[in-house]
Structure 1
Amino acid sequence: MSVAKLHRPMNRCPPILLKRNSPFNVVGAGLLIVAATYGLSRYTYGLFVPAIRQDFMLDQATVGAIGSASYLGYLLATLVSPFLVRRFGARLPILLGGATATLGMSLIGLANNPIWLALGVTLAGCSPGLAYPPLSDAIKQLCSAEKQSRYYAIINSGTSFGVMVSGPLALFAGPRWQLAWLCFAFIALIATLWNLFIMPGHASEADDQERAGKERTDDTRTGHEPMRVLLRRKLKDRAVCRLLLGALLFGLVTSVYWTFSVDLIAGENDLPDAGRVMFWMVVGIAGVAGGLAGELVTRFGLARVLQWASLAIAASIAILTMASGDMLVLTLSAVVFGAMFILITALYGIWSVTCFPEAPSAGFGLTFFLISAGQLISPTLAGVGAKLWDMAGVFQVTAVLCLGLLLLLPAQDIRSM
């Protein structure tokens, strides 16, 4: 045996794992931060509301107010994130998002009174608003053009993985529900540390100079214009207006399902707690299919895929009111909604980047700000509607409104970011 072989390291990592822009690192780090900030920090609160109400002796109004604080935190963070990207690059806001998720969920896990609980929920709610918009810039910097849509769509499906994890942990924790939140916080910490080593900083860093230089050459006039000027100019574009109105409507209609679907099926079908958690998990598992958005856009075009997905998600909302205890129909609704929700969010993300090529995070942030603005408004409107009709009637009206997305499709064919 040669001396060279004797001194060869025994546990050398494959080069693909060490390379910062390898598929494993870019997709893995991005997917995990989305799972932690969106799937766990933001969407899991509703799953624990019964336990929270019991332990802290809160009424429905207080629980709702805490949930609204989470949405408001997200909206404010979404406005701040693009400015941080333009000033410091993608890495800082992504790390801040991971840190607020870790801190917020730790506070929820350790809270012994409603004030600390509310603070934790609000901080956790801020995290996706900080971390998600910069991912578009990071993908543009780290990935070649032909891979960007595919990688983004897979990363976007991280929400589903977070929802999938939350269900089993909720069942495992049982009455010790705060232990589950401490586990969520640990996942967020791991995601933050991974992104620390993977995500790019400012475009002026040595390894990003060439790519950033090309982008500035493509559009030197708009590359550094103030955000206010950029948005004023973009809002005159019909394609941008279609994108933003569609995002707002999408947030309005889907929030009804996220907020009241479990309540609807529990009231009509008398499902036990385990059945409700399983329904929630099916929604999350189905969302993994949304990772195919990049492939579908490349093959069929964004407008056609968005048209199909809008019809499907409207149907999923409508058929939930027709279940009448039929578990097959309930499961069908959960599968279609979960898959189409993640798919459509990815489609809006891809569309926003094509509308804002000179500032991807600005378009990303504004689009998802409007989705969340709709999600903030909708539960209140649905609650008022439920007093006038019943909740099944609210879902039927929501399904009809969802068809309005068909009037707000992109006019031009889009097949990549």
Structure 2
Amino acid sequence: MYLPLFLKRNSAFNVIGAGLLIVAATYGLSRYTYGLFVPAIRDDFGLSQAAVGAIGSASYLGYLLATLISPLLVRRFGPRLPIIVGGMTATLGMLLVALAANPLVLAIGVTLAGCSPGLAYPPLSDAIKQLCRAEKQNRYYAIINSGTSFGVMVSGPLALIAGPRWQLAWLCFAFIALIATLWNFLIMPGPTRDATQHEASDNKPGGLSDDREPIRALLRRKLKNESVRRLLLGALLFGLVTSVYWTFSVELIASENRLSETGRVIFWVVVGIAGVAGGLAGELVTRFGLARVLRWATLAIAASIASLTMASDGMLVPTMSAVVFGATFILITALYGIWSVSCFPEAPSTGFGLTFFLISAGQLISPTLAGLGAELWQMTSVFQITALFCLGILLLLPTQDVWSM
């Protein structure tokens, strides 16, 4: 019996649409949009740069804890539950930010919102494995991963519309997260093999192993593999260097009065628009191999971080930096996702969760360090040092190339 696309739970429309929207809500809005509002938040609450960095780090701490819990929930309840809990956490956290009357409530809201992608994102690898044919998994995952860019892209216009009443924008973000949660509730697979999974099985997608090796034993075995060690160390370093840009790029531009408030929002929107290009990660890996793509993307993102420190009174340099950073950040996160699943084929969400746990561990540390460094020296020096550290990823490419999940 023929069913319209919106009724077929494992159709490309539903899998990509729901996955992309939950990533947009949890990553693009709940986690990364904080940086766009740093100047307004700092002024309204009278915060120092160190305090702003500490709140940013608290967001990453929430994510860090959530990524430890998410794979355990997947093993026990299937992908649906942690995805839904992540969406609900995003909704509540952003609602608290919108209603915050003091720095404590603000910090709680930012931290709670920061938990959401750690819960919702790792299970998507399992969901894709269950719902999609093997030859489509790279493409679907890369497109879903670009949801971060759509969230960042949407946040800019909403910030402009809200103007000085920036809390209204966060109310809109919370509503978007609620819609994403409801859609995923309807289509994501649960702990039992429901009709959707039977249909996917009939289409012979890549299945998941029934092996339930204890996570501790699995990690002990995997850490003996040099490629796995490179994956995890590279993920940690990637997190360290990129969160400086997400947290302080708008502050760097604002502090030097190089762009108007509208110009800063345009800069942020450009980061989001450029990130859509990261949806090509699946095709690039299939054609060129992951190692080559990661090498060139690392050089590009290091250049984008360094270029933001160049003296400029116009939009050209910041816009170029935004384009390169947005595209390569989404691309590299997709590359680490594909690499992690290829390293952990028997437990995709475990490898996925561990990889993004370490990305977040780096992101947890660096905003606080960058805020302190900016008060001791200058933010421009912090960005230049960060760009140099970024090049260390070149020493941590895979030992054997990867061509698919």
Which TM bucket (shorter chain)? Answer: over 0.9
Q: Distance in 2 between matches of 1:117 and 1:38?
A: 18
Contact 1:323–1:330 under 8 Å retained in 2: no
From 281, 289, 310, the equivalent of 1:293 is 281
From 185, 201, 225, the equivalent of 1:196 is 185
From 42, 48, 52, the equivalent of 1:53 is 42
From 322, 339, 353, the equivalent of 1:365 is 353
Say whether 1:253 aligns with 2:241: yes
Instruction: Kindly state the Cα deviation for residue 305 of structure 1 after the two structures are TM-superposed.
Output: 0.7
From 33, 45, 48, the equivalent of 1:44 is 33
Q: How does 1:23-102 map to 2 (within 5 A)?
A: 23-102=12-91
Instruction: Kindly state the Cα deviation for residue 215 of structure 1 after the two structures are TM-superposed.
Output: 10
Say whether 1:348 aligns with 2:342: no
Say whether 1:127 aligns with 2:116: yes
What TM-score do the two structures reach when normalised by structure 1?
Answer: 0.91
Instruction: Kindly state the Cα deviation for residue 228 of structure 1 after the two structures are TM-superposed.
Output: 1.2
Instruction: Kindly state the Cα deviation for residue 174 of structure 1 after the two structures are TM-superposed.
Output: 1.1
When residues 122 and 379 of structure 1 are mapped into structure 2, their CA distance, relative to the original with a 3 A threshold, is closer
Instruction: Name the residue aligned to 2:396.
Output: 408
When residues 120 and 397 of structure 1 are mapped into structure 2, their CA distance, relative to the original with a 3 A threshold, is closer
Instruction: Kindly state the Cα deviation for residue 390 of structure 1 after the two structures are TM-superposed.
Output: 3.0
Say whether 1:383 aligns with 2:378: no
Say whether 1:139 aligns with 2:131: no
Instruction: Kindly state the Cα deviation for residue 261 of structure 1 after the two structures are TM-superposed.
Output: 1.8
Q: Distance in 2 between matches of 1:390 and 1:116?
A: 29
When residues 404 and 315 of structure 1 are mapped into structure 2, their CA distance, relative to the original with a 3 A threshold, is same
Q: Distance in 2 between matches of 1:334 and 1:384?
A: 24
Instruction: Kindly state the Cα deviation for residue 300 of structure 1 after the two structures are TM-superposed.
Output: 0.9
Instruction: Name the residue aligned to 1:244.
Output: 232
Contact 1:163–1:281 under 8 Å retained in 2: yes
Instruction: Kindly state the Cα deviation for residue 239 of structure 1 after the two structures are TM-superposed.
Output: 0.9
- The amino acid that maps onto 1:146 is E
Bigger shift: residues 269-278 or 386-395: 386-395
- The amino acid that maps onto 1:239 is S
Bigger shift: residues 272-281 or 47-56: 47-56
When residues 219 and 18 of structure 1 are mapped into structure 2, their CA distance, relative to the original with a 3 A threshold, is closer
- The amino acid that maps onto 1:162 is G
Q: Distance in 2 between matches of 1:384 and 1:112?
A: 26
Instruction: Name the residue aligned to 1:316.
Output: 304
Contact 1:98–1:127 under 8 Å retained in 2: yes
Matched position secondary structure for 1:52: helix
Say whether 1:272 aligns with 2:257: no
Coordinate RMSD, CA, aligned: 2.3
- The amino acid that maps onto 2:179 is I
Say whether 1:164 aligns with 2:153: yes
Instruction: Name the residue aligned to 1:8.
Output: none
Q: Distance in 2 between matches of 1:16 and 1:217?
A: 22
Instruction: Name the residue aligned to 1:9.
Output: none
- The amino acid that maps onto 2:224 is K
Contact 1:39–1:163 under 8 Å retained in 2: yes
Instruction: Name the residue aligned to 1:17.
Output: 6
Instruction: Kindly state the Cα deviation for residue 229 of structure 1 after the two structures are TM-superposed.
Output: 1.1
Instruction: Name the residue aligned to 1:113.
Output: 102
When residues 71 and 346 of structure 1 are mapped into structure 2, their CA distance, relative to the original with a 3 A threshold, is same
Bigger shift: residues 334-343 or 319-328: 319-328
Q: Distance in 2 between matches of 1:332 and 1:61?
A: 28
Instruction: Kindly state the Cα deviation for residue 217 of structure 1 after the two structures are TM-superposed.
Output: 9.9
Say whether 1:331 aligns with 2:319: yes
Instruction: Kindly state the Cα deviation for residue 306 of structure 1 after the two structures are TM-superposed.
Output: 0.7
Residue segments in structure 2 that go unaligned for 5+ positions in a row? none
What TM-score do the two structures reach when normalised by structure 2?
Answer: 0.93
Structure ID, larger Rg: 1
When residues 211 and 395 of structure 1 are mapped into structure 2, their CA distance, relative to the original with a 3 A threshold, is same
Contact 1:269–1:324 under 8 Å retained in 2: no
Residue segments in structure 1 that go unaligned for 5+ positions in a row? 1-12
Q: How does 1:177-256 map to 2 (within 5 A)?
A: 177-202=166-191, 204-205=193-194, 207-208=196-197, 211=201, 223-256=211-244
Contact 1:16–1:24 under 8 Å retained in 2: yes
Bigger shift: residues 309-318 or 79-88: 309-318
Task: Indicate the percent of aligned positions where both proteins have the same amino acid.
Answer: 80
Aligned residues: 402
